[in-house]
Chains A and B, each alone.
Chain A
Amino acid sequence: MKEATLGYTDRDRASLAMTVALVSFAMLFASLFLTYAVYRVRSAMWPPMGFDKIPLTLPSISSAFILLSSFSFIRFQRRYEKKATNKTYYYLTLILALGFLFTQNQLWNYLNETGVFVESGTFASILHSFTWIHAGHVVLGMLALIFCLPALRKNKKDYSIRISNVGKFWHFLGIIWIFMYIGIFLF
């Protein structure tokens, strides 16, 4: 019987669990994209008769916010791992995340003002509900970011595993948004 070496560290375990969790989240969004693909491919024209393409301004600002917040979090994480904790990048991440939610809210307002209500057929349904579901996950992600708050204190406990996992979730949400931006708004 060969000796299996099972040198799994806490970090391995955490990243393994996070990978499984992200696969689950990815499948959730993949199902949404499948729904979108089915409607899009089968309709004669897109956007359907009576609707205009959504101007790219607000979605682009959203994309900028969420991408910048991801970069800001990466900076925070790098500094934390070098023991040079900088609060600025942490709070910047949170503020940019709030900025993202604000812009999304503006997008919903815009849609409602221009008559693209949630009840107005599949095109509007997709625009509204997909951004809702994503925004809901962003709120979850922000709670996870706040969960990293203890890392700002000067104490000996190491929070690098927690920070790296929260980071993965946060970047994942950014990537999903970029997919939505390209798939639903750009094309």
Chain B
Amino acid sequence: MTYVHPIHDAPKTFLSKYIISFDHKVIGKQFLWYGIFFLGIGGMMALMIRWTLAYPGEAFPVLGNLLFPHTNGVVPPDTYAMLFTLHGTIMIFYAITPILIGAFGNYCIPLMIGARDMAFPMLNMLSFWINFVAGGLLLASLFTPYGGAAGGWTSYPTLSTLIGSPGVGQTLWCLSIFVLGASSTMGAINYVTTVISFRAPGMGYFDMPLTVWGLWLTAILNAIFLPVLGAGCMLLVFDRVFGTHFFLAGAAATQGTGDPVLFQHVFWIFGHPEVYILILPAWGMVSDFLSFFSRKPAFGAKSTALAMTTITILSTVVYGHHMFTTQMSPLLTQTFMTLTMTISIPSAIFFANWLGTIWRGSIRFDSPMLFSLGVVFVFGLGGLTGLYLGTVSTDLYLHDTYFVVGHFHYTMAASVLLGGFAATYFWFPKMFGRLMNETLAKIHFWGTMVGLNGIFFGMMVLGYAGMHRRLYNPFVYEFMQKMIPLNTFVTISALVMGVFQLVFVYNFIHSMLKGEKASDNPWEVGTLEWTIPSPAPHYNFKEIPVVKCGPHEFGNPNLNNGRDFQYQTEELVKA
């Protein structure tokens, strides 16, 4: 009775092959290009922010005179607010989400569970193009009379009401997030259904690679919590356009009074799960890569999957730790603090599993492994610094300082970025049939790793010293003037990291066109996507595979066929 997609003819025209494609692999690549494009824009914005903090009042090199001619190339204060707002929004919603969830979710889920396509290919196609519309709306907001949104990526009222940010920019921001939410929800519906109902015969939930686990849990969180942000954005749009009073208070509310803090609640009910939405795919991938490149079964794979599930559930009840300074009742803050601390238990479990996996493995230091080890390091740092922010007493001091900025960049930016690079290097051969250049990849890794730690560790030190976030020129305050050298260091690190990303872009494009031809299984890994030719044919699997063993069968002493791994389609070799 099981339905499988029939093998279609390969699409012929340019339009059906590359633009309006229903093929999950093409949609995945579309998302990848789209995400990398926005990563470039968001990264450029980050450099402008950093430049302003290190060299206040000096013209931004090269692009400055082009973008801000009326100030001779210096980033103006209002533009600065716009830059940090859109940097956050773009990186979270238009770079990380499309790359990790859109690109690798689409590309990997059907291939790794042995399906010919997603459950609903047309919904998948619509999901990409609606996302494209959302991106268009956001970019369009930059060209409105008062410029783009400038209320921070969290868009708290009153910063985001008509008084805080007049003009159409903020309204377009809300609309674009709403449309993006619709697109992501459509993707999530597809992922959840596909994982549940399209697994190849024989594949139980614990036979799925952990990558698929991560993406699946992410999709569940997406489907549940994105609509909450959608509701918040919608009410904010009503406040701005129709004059409702949901988030207006004080003199702004002409009749009756709304509640600006309510938006914070709605935002973080979504926002805390969102943190896990972003990191779960990277966790899953890293759990797999560590096993693949240590040539060892993933230590406690089942408990890793269960720990991720536990975190998914716990992530829904801890959002209050973002709002300790909003005069919450102490009973509530302590409850949220305790619940937040509970998350360390499953986190410690899978972290120990990661270390257990590489312990005494015969590690191959290929580029995906290097990036995965990078994730282990930066996520360790990011996770541990989270404890100080989850604790009420320390958070009262650290709230809204650069410590917070450093912390969430370590968890959400550094880990996810490194995880995304690991995934790109790992699946590139299957995507394009060619290998990426290993030497350039290693140069890219070390440059990124050094730059990234310089930036984010520097930020944490600055924050601990008391530097507030979102200030145009913090050095007008006397006590912060001593921090100019450290800020300069952070900015130089950012420039270094930025330069090394050019290596990646060159490597990506050059390898795609002229790289060394890849074999079907260049990494010697047993999951289903490596049983088919590289690049994957449009129908994926000629015959739907039957799964007979788990995804991490490495180094089995009973294997005697010259390989140290087993394909998932092979019976587990026993003594």
Contact = CB atoms under 8 A, between A and B. Distances in A.
Interface of A: 1-10, 12-13, 16-17, 20-21, 23-25, 27-32, 34-35, 38-39, 42, 48, 118-125, 128-129, 133
B513 interface: no
B256 A122 contact: yes
A10 B246 contact: no
B255 interface: yes
Contacts, number: 140
A16 B244 contact: no
Interface string B114-128: 000001100000000
A23 B224 CA distance: 6
Given A8-B3, A24-B223, A128-B244, A31 B201 contact: no
A129 to B, nearest CB: 5
Interface of B: 1-3, 119-120, 185, 188-190, 192-193, 196-204, 207, 223-228, 230-232, 234-235, 238, 242-246, 253-259, 262, 265-266, 269, 547-550, 571-572
B258 A122 contact: yes
A31 B242 contact: no
Given A10-B3, A20-B223, A35-B262, A121 B253 contact: yes
A17 B231 contact: no
Contacts of B253: 121
How would you classify the secondary structure of chain A's contact residues: helix, strand, loop or mixed?
Answer: helix
Nearest to A50: B255
A20 B119 contact: no
Contacts of B193: 13, 16-17, 20
B7 to A, nearest CB: 18
B202 A35 contact: no
Contacts of A29: 231
Given A13-B193, A20-B189, A35-B262, A125 B245 contact: yes
A38 B3 contact: no
A39 B223 contact: no
22 contacts: A4-B204, A8-B3, A9-B3, A10-B3, A17-B190, A20-B188, A20-B189, A24-B223, A27-B225, A28-B231, A29-B231, A31-B228, A35-B235, A35-B246, A118-B238, A119-B255, A124-B244, A125-B238, A125-B245, A128-B244, A129-B234, A129-B246
A4 B199 contact: yes
B1 A9 contact: yes
A118 B549 contact: no
The B interface, classified by DSSP as helix, strand, loop or mixed, is loop
Contact of B223 (A6, A23, A38): A23
B244 A1 contact: no
Given A1-B572, A9-B3, A35-B262, A121 B256 contact: yes
A38 B189 CA distance: 30
Contacts of B548: 1
A34 B549 CA distance: 47
B227 A123 contact: no
A128 B190 CA distance: 33
Contacts of B269: 31
Given A28-B231, A125-B238, A8 B197 contact: yes
Nearest to A26: B227
Contact of B245 (A21, A25, A119): A119
B198 to A, nearest CB: 8
B216 to A, nearest CB: 12
Contacts of A5: 201
B120 A17 contact: yes
A24 B224 CA distance: 5
A121 B255 contact: yes
A73 to B, nearest CB: 22
Contacts of A31: 227-228, 230-232, 266, 269
A168 B244 CA distance: 32
A16 B228 contact: no
